[in-house]
């Protein structure tokens, strides 16, 4: 992934993303949504163009409330401040700076590139985790300081397979369509018959996305894992608590490989996200 950079130019905020002329259907009424604890897959443009409709209210972009978000992109620049780094990440629709704090006490104690010690590495430990030109996936809470969008409590994961990039953008398209009444909202437990009929006619009875109400998968490992994680995380703080994979595996009697794969799928779908490392998750 280190040498693969399909976004050949630094894009401006006006490129990519979605058109603003979508009409919200009856099933996409924003007043019916309760998204405070939702992890929403987005593009950088959606983040940058989001606005607060009321003071101190949630950010809204293309009829979606953005609280916790995740997005993918290519690292274009790394600025090392020893105890933290700033990554400039671009996804073809825009670019944004994300700050990542170091978890290494040695980074906090001494700065990179110290002329008094020529043997010292020129970059901190946290900076060495990432490389310019590689893909990353970022999770965090959307905030604004000084008129500039920021991702608070950012978790940054290196992407190993380009399939993760494609999957993320499919999820972005799905939730954009749901927010604008083009697909039924699975979180409400209801559906729009007109939307479903239109989908069936256009796809000859085949749907692009698996039905959330499909009884054959109602008790799949992923459903059991999500239910378990939600119960464990209820009332907890994501900054201090996470559910480890071994606990999930042992509690539900599911082997760790299956558990890990299900957690990866649930992360892509926006139901959980990794916190301390790739083995600890928090449900929102």
Give the list of residues 6+ apart from residue 189 with CB closer than 8 angstroms, or none.
none
pLDDT tens-digit profile, the chain (284 residues): 444 555 555 544 444 455 444 444 444 444 444 456 678 999 999 999 999 888 878 899 988 999 899 999 999 999 988 788 999 999 999 999 999 887 766 665 555 444 444 444 457 888 888 999 999 999 999 998 888 898 988 889 999 899 999 999 999 999 899 988 888 877 665 544 444 444 444 444 444 444 444 444 457 899 999 999 999 998 888 888 899 999 999 899 899 999 999 998 888 888 898 888 888 999 87
Element (H, E) at 205: none
Task: Return d(Cα 41, Cα 70) in angstroms, integer.
Answer: 5
- Quickly count: other Cβ atoms within 10 Å of residue 253's Cβ: 7
Exposure class string for 63-93: b at 16+ Cβ within 10 A, else e: bbbbbbbbbbbbbbebebbbebbebbbbbbb
Reading the block at residue 253, the tokens are 């009697």
Q: How many angstroms separate the Cα of 134 from the Cα of each of 2, 6, 99, 236?
A: 5, 11, 17, 33
What is the largest distance, in Å, between two alpha-carbon atoms of the chain?
Answer: 71
Query: pTM of the entire structure?
Result: 0.59
- Quickly count: other Cβ atoms within 10 Å of residue 175's Cβ: 20
Q: Please, what are the domains in the chain? A: 26-163 (2.40.50.140), 214-284 (1.10.10.10)
DSSP 8-state assignment for residue 31: G
């Amino acid at each position: 992934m280190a040498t693969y950079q399909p976004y050949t130019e630094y894009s401006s905020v006006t490129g990519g993303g979605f058109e603003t002329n979508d009409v919200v259907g009856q099933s996409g009424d924003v007043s019916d949504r309760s998204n405070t604890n939702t992890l929403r897959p987005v593009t950088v443009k959606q983040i940058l163009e989001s606005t607060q409709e009321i003071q101190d209210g949630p950010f809204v972009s293309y009829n979606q409330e953005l609280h916790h978000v995740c997005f993918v992109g290519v690292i274009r620049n790394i600025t090392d401040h020893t105890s933290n780094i700033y990554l400039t990440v671009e996804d073809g629709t825009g670019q944004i700076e994300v700050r990542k704090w170091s978890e290494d006490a040695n980074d906090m104690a001494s700065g990179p590139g110290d002329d008094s010690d020529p043997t010292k590495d020129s970059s901190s430990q946290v900076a060495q985790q990432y490389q310019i030109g590689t893909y990353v996936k970022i999770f965090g809470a959307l905030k604004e300081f000084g008129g500039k969008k920021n991702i608070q409590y950012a978790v940054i994961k290196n992407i190993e397979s380009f399939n993760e990039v494609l999957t993320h953008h499919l999820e972005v398209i799905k939730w954009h369509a749901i927010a604008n009444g083009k697909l039924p909202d699975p979180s409400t437990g209801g559906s729009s018959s007109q939307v479903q009929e239109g989908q069936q006619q256009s796809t000859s009875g085949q749907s692009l996305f698996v039905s959330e109400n499909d009884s054959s998968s109602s008790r799949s490992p992923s459903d059991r894992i999500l239910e378990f994680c939600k119960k464990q995380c209820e009332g907890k703080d994501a900054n201090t608590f996470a559910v480890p994979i071994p606990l999930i595996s042992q509690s539900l009697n599911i082997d760790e490989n299956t558990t890990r794969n299900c957690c990866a799928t649930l992360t892509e779908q926006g139901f959980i996200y990794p916190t301390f490392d790739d083995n600890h998750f928090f449900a929102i």
